[in-house]
Structure 1
């Protein structure tokens, strides 16, 4: 009888599984193919069923140097690739690049003494590891870390490990470069030997590239001495083979024309949607928020109904940008590829550890338009790499000077906001640089990254629509030959103008491919995914909150106030909500002016807004000044355990707000300023003080 019962249970389970599979059409178990992930897995040998043993992988492929990266936006990955390539070219190292999340580290104590590991680590958020570095960080930073052999810190388990490390941070954050500092400390505690100094790059000061270049030369010298390496003349060797495919037409079903993965190529995009698999979302509505004709600020409502995407108030939405047609044309023209833009190419790594950063086969046009950051700031090191391929010796000499003289480079390139194609075009007076191998562009230019925006709507109020608030970037310097145009915000502006039937949706001739690859973006659509954030309202809605958000920093606070107003309309008790908002003029850029008035009606005395208009009076007034003017109220609310939120520019505003809050607390409570600073630090530690800031 027991045997029959067991059989019955098995049959029921089989029926249940079959039913779920049928009802979900298999999507519950479906894994969306990610060409970036696939190529990365192939690069590192981490396919299903393959080893996660980095030492085994290095032995299999004959490598003596692995460059690990912890990257959130791709920058650390880019530096890792550059270091691996330079180590191979200059010193003959057998290098590979590795994503930290693709390997286990419990056998790191058996790392051979004749090999070296690099750790290129970005710090994310408030001193946190990047998503792909979380497991590594938690393992190596554990006070009781024990390796598979049983060795531990007491045994100096990593005595054989030689390592190099460089961190990417932002000094506007309290926990500047904490990831690399903590990992370096943990590795040394375990007995590992660091080669050279632990480098630190500062994105907040805008010196990341120069910090990196200044660090790497003494590092290479130290490494060469430690490992007995001899420097040789670096000769360019392509990482990728580029094969032009005469057997394929650009409109062939197997050719990627900008699609991120196979599902999109086949026209059957499926979830789950993520940073490797965007949802092509319709823009339900869009409008202009500024009243002045020379500046634009967009409000957009993005429809996620039916996508199974979910967001919570305070989260971020990622917009996948497209490079402007004007800059795509410029890049292809200066590379000597304009006439071959629709030629199909296959891209393959020459080494089994080389990672192809986009799907293949594809076209030159698709790579330039959808996959490479052709509009990004130019790297001085990349300029040096391009110099040997200059059309003339005169241009080669000028490029060499730019690559070696940081002050001259800043004057000619950085300060004039030139992208790579603009620089090459100016240097050669329009003459093509047809000698540059296309592989070198792939290696030297970042993979284009999604841009993240604070969601300006409440998930309680509009579950299936995500609002964003974005100023369109357009900067012109008198000595710059081109206006700096924000890639994503101008793309969104073109979508908005198209949606409103503007006969000239690209007023600056940028010519975005609004309908997407193969014109599949019917109507007005944009690729997106959602990134969850810790920037959240208190779980108890009766708690008071203080919000500081000038300009578009007010975006998440519109969502916060919108949610509290909805709760109040439902009859729930809501705590005091105080907003400090700043802009230039009340009649030009006072974002959501009418909405605040409605929320005031909904919330009554539980909502206050303090405004700072910087260009209306004889003196400039900012949110910091309004905080000081309302110091007593701020302190009173903090004594009631109010939560304090800041959103906006990290370099100036957020840092000043942090300082002023400490001063307010000290002054109002009659204690030393150092005590006020301690209170603010304690608020941060307990999540009572939260920031959503950018550089």
Structure 2
């Protein structure tokens, strides 16, 4: 037998290892991939992370899982509330699960002594949220394949469902409707009605509360559960660390993750890891003293971020100092704001929503949504911690009486601290466990803005166009937009205002440990389906009043560059509306430049609602241009709408149906079908908000 030389042995060893890897799917060395994972397992800490939800529930002894599909955090909040209520009222062993963290081919092996809950937001025009895309595609597929050969596949699965939607969109609550239909088609047993919350009508919270009580009753009957008196059972433990100070290097002061804490934040930058981007330019777009609209240029050249024309940029805000102080004061924590705390879950499936150790101030300033409207259910849970019997009675009434809550809290747009001040007067709410505040308040979410520049023209610089939100309310402070006022403060600092104080607010402009100095803002990019046609010769019609014009500035910027480069660019119509030409005509000088580049291919049609005797809006101008609009649509023009969903987008849709009916001499019903088919073919696109 011939002797093996060294090279032969190396090759044979490599083949052997490759064979083992293929046959075992890498399980021989999976536990050694990460030192953290192997040391945790050896120390008997958390079991290894698994994408098998049945295995996860068995490991953690759970009989109820609450899945969520969430874009802005609201669905995640409702999922957490359901899980907490299920445990405290009915003794269910609950866990909350992010849909993107699990596979679903083994849902068929979830025992009939368990229940799955789905809390699903609908994003945009009937789409799943980013974290629910894979689940949605799997569960609605014609050939969904499960681990067992049962018939029907999900005959053992019991589920309940609640959807978060907006009736101003055509595909209202389509996620919960389509998923419910798919699960039932696969044999799953729905318990109670599938609930639907309506953000468009402003009734989301009350819709949720109205749905869950009959749902719990139906579930208790189905699973033989007995209700008990609900008592507060913390999900997290909060320990004050006397051996650490805010100067300690391991203490998070608002950093989103360890890389940022250690000063070496690296990509990829995304929804979990923002890029601290320089603001290279900022300017005011309005010519009026009592309102602001900002234009900002965000430099992404130092990151791996890229964007396409029509995408969104996410800005990670910080809460205003005034509201941070109010929250800490009313909860009795103002003197302990810099106290270092360690927050840990009390059971293995719970997740602390921010890094730890940290400080009370950092949690409230960077991680808690303290400026959001307060929920009636949350106020009811805080009644037990009221400083006086009178305050307890008032909180109980607010929690139980929908109309009274609406009168005293909703109508006045109170956030949590303002509500506690109104109820408690001068008394502080020192008995509220900080864990209850962590559990009851949403995590601060990034805010998304349509990018108002073209990636073809400025590849490494993103433009933002944003109106600063400030609404005067009788008898109280004005209601302020958290993120837009933060951006205003950044602009004022960049322009040399000594003490930036937009609308009576102050911000930690330089960020945690002064790492944002030099005017920086945390951002990431979210890709959108709101896109120009791939063929630039296709005509386009754009409707964008106010800051709805933002993406269309990018569209036209791109078409002007294509025309300059000698490309054939199609007819380009922009309908823009605002109050007065002299006050809020956004980018008024720029449009002339684009007209020079595009010639007769570009037309700007304006509607200044307060410049004439009668109010004129973009939908009126659209009707005036009915002949050309119809001709362009017959040439397969793309039709875009950006802006307010509740009124403008609906009126524009109605105007387009009218134009189609009248210009083509067909019934309204037929015209409506044509407009619907345009949506289905992606020829009619919307980027709207309520």
TM-score (norm 1): 0.93
Once residues 173 and 228 of structure 1 are traced to their aligned partners in structure 2, the CA distance between those partners, rounded to angstroms, is 39
Q: Determine if the alignment matches structure 1 residue 234 to structure 2 residue 230.
A: yes
The structural deviation recorded for 1:126 is 1.5
1:173 to 1:507, Cα distance in 2 relative to 1, 3 A:
closer
Following superposition, the deviation at residue 507 of structure 1 comes to 3.8
Alpha-carbon shift at residue 104 of structure 1 (Å): 1.5
User: For structure 1, which segment, 184-193 or 587-596, has the greater mean C-alpha deviation from structure 2 after superposition?
Assistant: 184-193
Report the 3-state secondary structure (helix = DSSP H, G, I; strand = E; otherwise coil) of the residue aligned with 2:503: coil
1:38-187 matches, cutoff 5 A: 47=48, 50-151=49-150, 155-187=151-183
Which residue does the alignment assign to 1:443?
439
CA-based RMSD: 2.2
Counterpart selection for 1:501 from 468, 471, 496? 496
Conservation of the 8 A alpha-carbon contact between 1:45 and 1:51: no
Q: What's the CA shift string for 1:72-93, capped at 9, x where partnerless?
A: 1111111000000001001111
User: Does 1:269 pair with 2:265?
Assistant: yes
| Structure 2 counterpart of 1:320 | 316
How far residue 363 of structure 1 moved from its aligned partner, in angstroms, is 0.3
Find out whether 1:397 has 2:396 as its counterpart.
no
Number of residue equivalences:
663
Q: Secondary structure at the match of 1:133?
A: helix
Alpha carbons of 1:46 and 1:513: their partners in 2 closer, same or farther (altered >3 Å)?
Answer: farther
Name the residue aligned to 1:360: 356
Q: Does 1:293 align with 2:289?
A: yes
Asked if structure 2 preserves the Cα contact closer than 8 Å seen for 1:32 and 1:272, the reply is: no
Aligned: 1:198 with 2:194 = yes
| Structure-1 residue corresponding to 2:23 | none
Report SS of the residue matched to 2:283.
Answer: strand
Is the alpha carbon distance of 1:668 and 1:348 closer, same or farther for their aligned partners in structure 2, counting shifts above 3 Å?
Answer: same
Distance 2:545 2:323 in 1: 32
How do 1:208-247 and structure 2 match up within 5 A?
208-247=204-243
State how far apart, in whole Å, the 2-side matches of 1:286 and 1:207 are. Answer: 37
Residue 457 (1) aligns with residue 453 (2): yes
CA distance in 1, matches of 2:542, 2:536: 15
Q: 1:549 to 1:613 in 2, by over 3 A?
A: same
1:257 corresponds to 2:253: yes
| Structure-to-structure mapping, 1:614-629, within 5 angstroms | 614-629=609-624
Using the alignment, how far apart are the partners of 1:419 and 1:274 within structure 2? 29
State how far apart, in whole Å, the 2-side matches of 1:433 and 1:607 are.
60
1:690 paired to 2:690: no
Change (3 A) 1:352 1:635: same
Contact 2:371 2:415 in 1 (8 A): yes
Cα 1:361–1:532, aligned 2, differ >3 Å: closer, same or farther?
A: same
Aligned pair 1:377/2:376, yes or no? no
Deviations 1:440-479 (A, max 9, x none): 1100100000000000011111111100000000001224
Deviation track 1:181-219 (CA, whole Å, cap 9, x = no partner) reads: 111111111111111110011111111100000000100
Contact in 2 for aligned 1:320/1:451 (Cα 8 Å): yes
Matches within 5 A, 1:657-676: 657-676=652-671
Unaligned runs of 5+ in 2: 13-32
Q: Which runs of 5+ in 1 are unaligned?
A: 11-30
**Matching of residue 528 in structure 1 with residue 523 in structure 2:** yes
TM-score (norm 2): 0.93
Tell me, in whole angstroms, the C-alpha distance in 2 between the residues paired with 1:107 and 1:587. 62
Q: Is it true that 1:486 corresponds to 2:497 in the alignment?
A: no
Contact kept in structure 1, 2:321 and 2:365, CA below 8 Å: yes
| Residue 609 (structure 1) aligned with residue 615 (structure 2) | no
**Distance (Å, rounded) in 2 between the aligned partners of 1:162 and 1:3:** 62
Q: Is the 8 A contact 1:117 1:164 kept in 2?
A: yes
2:664, 2:316 → 1: CA distance?
48
Post-superposition, which runs of at least 4 consecutive aligned residues in structure 1 deviate over 4 A? 2-10, 31-34, 44-47
Equivalent of 1:580, from 575, 584, 587? 575
CA–CA separation in structure 2 for the residues paired with 1:298 and 1:494: 11
